[in-house]
C-alpha cells in the first residue's frame, strides 16, 4: 500500500489523527488513523482506524469524476477533500456519484 496524499492531521497531547489517501493494487483507500488518550477512552484501544476502500472500477470512475490521471490524482484529491471533514466529504461524494465503498473500523 502506498500513501498518495495526507489530507488532514491533528497532533495534540490527547489525540493524533492522520487522514490520507492510499493506493493498493489499483484501489483507492481513505484511511483515518487515530491514536492517543481520547481513542483509548472511547474505544478501550490505543489505536483506531476508519478505512474506506473503492474497487478498481470505482477508483477509475472517481478519477474521471475528478478529472485526474495518475500524475494529478494527489492534487485533485487534496483539492476536493482536504480538511477536517475529509471522511464526510468522501462519503457524500461517493453517495452522490453512486460509487460503492467498503467501510472497515479497526481497533487494536
pLDDT at 1: 84
pLDDT at 69: 94
H/E segment holding residue 18: strand 16-24
The residue-averaged pLDDT of 10-36 equals 97
The residue-averaged pLDDT of 44-62 equals 98
Q: Is the pLDDT of residue 6 over 90?
A: yes
Angle at the Cα of 91 from the Cα atoms of 93 and 1, rounded to 5 degrees = 105
Amino acid at each position: 500500500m502506498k500513501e498518495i496524499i495526507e489530507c488532514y492531521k491533528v497532533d495534540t497531547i490527547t489525540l493524533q489523527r492522520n487522514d490520507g489517501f492510499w493506493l493498493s493494487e489499483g484501489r483507492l483507500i481513505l484511511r483515518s488513523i487515530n491514536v492517543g488518550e481520547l481513542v483509548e477512552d472511547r474505544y478501550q484501544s490505543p489505536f483506531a482506524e476508519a478505512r474506506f476502500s473503492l474497487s478498481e472500477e470505482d477508483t477509475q470512475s472517481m478519477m474521471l469524476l475528478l478529472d485526474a490521471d495518475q500524475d494529478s490524482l494527489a492534487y485533485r484529491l487534496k483539492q476536493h477533500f482536504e480538511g477536517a471533514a475529509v471522511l464526510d466529504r468522501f462519503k457524500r461524494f461517493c453517495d452522490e456519484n453512486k460509487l460503492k465503498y467498503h467501510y472497515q473500523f479497526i481497533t487494536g
